[in-house]
Chain A
């Protein structure tokens, strides 16, 4: 019993590679702005703004490629990733606002850094994907 094969899975490799490349380029651009402003152009505001704009453009590339990736992957994987993204978004909003309030009310001694929130989102997303994969194993 054979029908026309659907190549949904085999298409994923190039888009995964592209997503990896865009993400790598974006991380590289952030590092370049962070360290370049200090060591290369000594906080020249014009160059910094241009580099941040370039980094943001690369970031838009990541978003577009990620959207393509989500549309192209296997439907169970899509559900797992979207579920994980939903939980991450909730944690980002609730956790971010709570963390900010802890800072503004001086409950915590240090400043609420955005990097802490990004780490929290990343870990939540990772846990969501792992739990989702285990659930549908």
Chain B
């Protein structure tokens, strides 16, 4: 699954640690998601969407 998390985080001038704090996960989790190594749960995806005021589809895209 591809995602725009790193770009959105940069656009909002946030560090991985800040994004982790805002969404209640570890910085390691944010890093793993940004690198595409780990797919977040649906509740966490919703938290990202709420934080960036976007839909989940605008942040995450499925790749075949």
Contacts and interface: CB of A to CB of B under 8 A. Distances in A.
Interface in B31-61: 31-32, 37-38, 40-41, 44, 47, 50-52
Nearest to A10: B24
Nearest to A1: B12
A3 B29 contact: no
A5 B26 contact: no
A1 B51 contact: yes
Contacts of B25: 6, 8-9, 74-76
A9 B50 contact: no
Nearest to B14: A1
Interface of A: 1-3, 5-9, 74-77, 79, 133, 135-137
B3 to A, nearest CB: 14
State the main secondary structure of chain A at its contact with B: loop
Contacts of B44: 75
Contacts of A7: 24
B6 to A, nearest CB: 15
B58 to A, nearest CB: 15
